[in-house]
Amino acid sequence: MRTFKIVLGYDGTGFHGWQVQPGRRTVQGVLEEALAHVLGFDVRLKAAGRTDAGCHARGQVASFAADTPVPIAALRPALNRRLPRDVRVRSAEEAESGFDARRSAIARRYGYRLLDREDVLWGRMAWHPGRTPDAARLVQATRPLEGDHDCAAFQAAGSTPTRTHCRVHRATWRRWEGGVMLDVIANHFLYHMVRNLVGTALALAERTNPSEAMRAVLATRDRSRAGPTAPPQGLCLEEVFYSERVRT
Amino acid sequence: MRTFKIVLGYDGTGFHGWQVQPGRRTVQGVLEEALAHVLGFDVRLKAAGRTDAGCHARGQVASFAADTPVPIAALRPALNRRLPRDVRVRSAEEAESGFDARRSAIARRYGYRLLDREDVLWGRMAWHPGRTPDAARLVQATRPLEGDHDCAAFQAAGSTPTRTHCRVHRATWRRWEGGVMLDVIANHFLYHMVRNLVGTALALAERTNPSEAMRAVLATRDRSRAGPTAPPQGLCLEEVFYSERVRT
């Protein structure tokens, strides 16, 4: 048995998210189909982040184990020949036995891009919230998130995850060409967490003291106190981090 | 008669360029159709830059004259309701009588985006030339273009424009998120000129002295001495400049 690690990017606009769903075009679906063609048998992929419909990835990581003689250098070009244009494999390599793209990941980095104004060129991958975002106030609103927190206030409405504690390594905003983007790294993300953070940060940026308001929302652990969920197109899974020594 | 000035952006991926062509989807075609619906009669648009198939615009300007009672504030929302999602009107205003988006323009700014590496998210609007571009050497290659020059070496192969003299106000490269972009402003551009400049700059960046090599190419005024034409998707018409007093 060999274990494989695949890094890929995709434009999520034309997909119903990562995860396989019957009768729907998903990234996992097209990638497993391409792998079946190349390997000659079916495999089931694990992914570091199960992105939603309309969300993008530049550094998604998927893994699988298989007994195959395929030369590792041939895998990336063979997959890219077979894949549609909106998914590209950036690298394919062999990993240590036991590597699991999801369980072995120690952190993930997401970006959420806001537009200063509507722009048809960036509209597939960024969102204009109806007014020009104030970067300085967004930074104030988001800074209290850095550190160890129970992030239950930012879970998806109606969901009841068993593990709402997150270690947020970075939660800041920086300029990109079309406006500002949230740049957030954490060991673990709850479902819809980044999009809920963006909606909340935009709402709290209007307050007198955005940092204090964010600390208050966090402390409630109550989803109903946070802001609305920002739409999917601004979100991109940028990078996944693994330790040198794979945890199994 | 009233004269109208429309500023628009479009994702050129799904269009056969700006200019109306029978049986093909063009930006001019869909915009004239939307205008006919809103005004109740046909108009013919003039545009500042007749972009090619697959090229984009963020600040294209179009003009027309018409005898219509349409309130100016209603024009932009009415057009955007009617237009497909890949074209957006940014502003619609009344201009002085005689204003012509093409003839009144005193300069245009184009961007051409290169990618450091293949990236499916930016792939609709940027081009990866197969290796990571060297920004410093590209700047050296392009700097000699600033000033007044006969740019015949950069006209489209086979074309014979009557006016090959251009005043290039700026020709430099700057970072954008995915790599480097050519940022060029001139009073006048020849057909394919920006894409030919990019292909030539990439070729000359490999030389010992890119600036000297570019000066030599310019001096020949010979298209066959310049580099290949870069593909359309990296090009975007960013902005069109007009003097306060309209020249008619």
CB atoms within 10 A of CB B222: 11
**Whether residue B165 has pLDDT greater than 70:** yes
CA A33 to chain centre: 22
What average pLDDT is seen over chain B? Answer: 93
**Structure letter (DSSP) for residue A240:** E
For B97-131, write each residue's pLDDT tens digit.
Answer: 999 999 999 999 999 999 999 898 898 999 999 99
CB atoms within 10 A of CB A219: 13
Judge contact between B140 and B200, C-beta under 8 A: no
Q: What span, in angstroms and rounded, lies between the C-alpha atoms of B201 and B173?
A: 11
Q: Distance, in angstroms, between B54 CA and closest chain A CA?
A: 12
What pLDDT does B15 receive? 97
Judge contact between B181 and B174, C-beta under 8 A: yes
What pLDDT does B223 receive? 84
What pLDDT does B244 receive? 63
The residues, ordered by sequence, that sit 6+ positions from B202 with a Cβ below 8 Å of its Cβ are: B129, B133, B138, B227, B230
Determine which of A121, A124, A183 to mutate to test the interface with B (most B C-beta atoms within 10 Å). Answer: A121
Give me the count of residues in chain B: 248
Q: What span, in angstroms and rounded, lies between the C-alpha atoms of A41 and B241?
A: 59
Set B52, B67, B134, B148: catalytic member: B52
Bridge partners for A107 per DSSP: A241
- Which of B88, B119, B177 minimises the CB distance to A118? B88
Q: Distance, in angstroms, between A182 CA and closest chain B CA?
A: 14
Residue B11 known to be catalytic: no
What pLDDT does B248 receive? 43
Q: What span, in angstroms and rounded, lies between the C-alpha atoms of A52 and A190?
A: 12
CB contact under 8 A, B121 and A87: no
Interface residues from chain B to A (CB-CB < 8 Å): 9-11, 56, 58, 85-88, 90, 118-121, 123-125, 176-177, 236
**Whether residue B245 has pLDDT greater than 80:** no
Q: What span, in angstroms and rounded, lies between the C-alpha atoms of A4 and A45?
A: 10
CB atoms within 10 A of CB B207: 15
Exposed e or buried b per residue across A230-246, where buried means at least 16 C-beta atoms within 10 angstroms of its C-beta: bebbbbbbbbbbbeeeb
Range B49-73 average pLDDT: 96
CB contact under 8 A, A88 and B118: yes
Q: Please, where are the H alpha helices in A59-171?
A: 72-82, 135-142
What pLDDT does B19 receive? 95
Q: What is the CA radius of gyration of chain A?
A: 19
For B2-18, write each residue's pLDDT tens digit.
Answer: 999 999 999 999 999 99
Give me the count of residues in chain A: 248
Residues of A in contact with B176 (CB under 8 A): 177
Crossing angle of helices A27-39 and A72-82, rounded to 10°:
120
What pLDDT does A224 receive? 84
Q: What is the CA radius of gyration of chain B?
A: 19
Question: C-alpha angle with apex A80: A75 to A82, nearest 5 degrees?
Answer: 100
Judge contact between A163 and A151, C-beta under 8 A: no
Q: What span, in angstroms and rounded, lies between the C-alpha atoms of A92 and B122?
A: 21
In 3D space, the residue among B92, B47, B106, B38 whose CA is nearest the CA of residue B247 turns out to be B106
Q: What span, in angstroms and rounded, lies between the C-alpha atoms of B60 and B46?
A: 11
**Structure letter (DSSP) for residue B187:** S
CB atoms within 10 A of CB B42: 10
What pLDDT does A161 receive? 66
Does the model's pTM come out above 0.90? no
In 3D space, the residue among B115, B132, B174 whose CA is nearest the CA of residue A9 turns out to be B115
Bridge partners for A84 per DSSP: none
ipTM given for this complex: 0.78
CB contact under 8 A, A120 and B9: yes
Q: Distance, in angstroms, between B120 CA and closest chain A CA?
A: 6
In 3D space, the residue among A235, A120, A134 whose CA is nearest the CA of residue A179 turns out to be A134
Active site members of A: 52
CB contact under 8 A, B120 and A11: yes
User: Closest-CA residue in chain B for A57?
Assistant: B121
CA quadruple B175, B180, B181, B184: dihedral sign: positive
For residue A15, give both structure tokens: 């997909």
Residue type present at position A39: L
Give Dmax over CA atoms of chain B in angstroms: 62
In 3D space, the residue among B203, B198, B196, B210 whose CA is nearest the CA of residue B151 turns out to be B196
Q: What span, in angstroms and rounded, lies between the C-alpha atoms of B210 and B37?
A: 52
Q: Which long-range contacts (CB under 8 A, 24 or more apart) does A16-24 make?
A: A16/A53, A17/A50, A17/A51, A17/A52, A17/A53, A17/A54, A17/A55, A18/A47, A18/A49, A18/A50, A18/A51, A18/A52, A18/A60, A19/A50
3-state secondary structure of A172: strand
In 3D space, the residue among B91, B63, B76 whose CA is nearest the CA of residue B7 turns out to be B91
Main-chain phi, psi angles of A150, to 5 degrees? -80, 115
Range B68-80 average pLDDT: 97
What pLDDT does B81 receive? 97
pLDDT tens series, chain A, 248 aa: 999 999 999 999 999 999 999 999 999 999 999 999 999 999 999 999 989 999 999 999 999 999 999 999 999 999 999 999 999 999 999 999 999 999 999 999 999 999 999 899 898 999 999 999 999 999 999 999 999 999 999 988 777 767 899 999 999 999 998 999 999 999 999 999 999 999 999 999 999 999 999 999 999 888 888 888 999 999 999 999 998 654 44
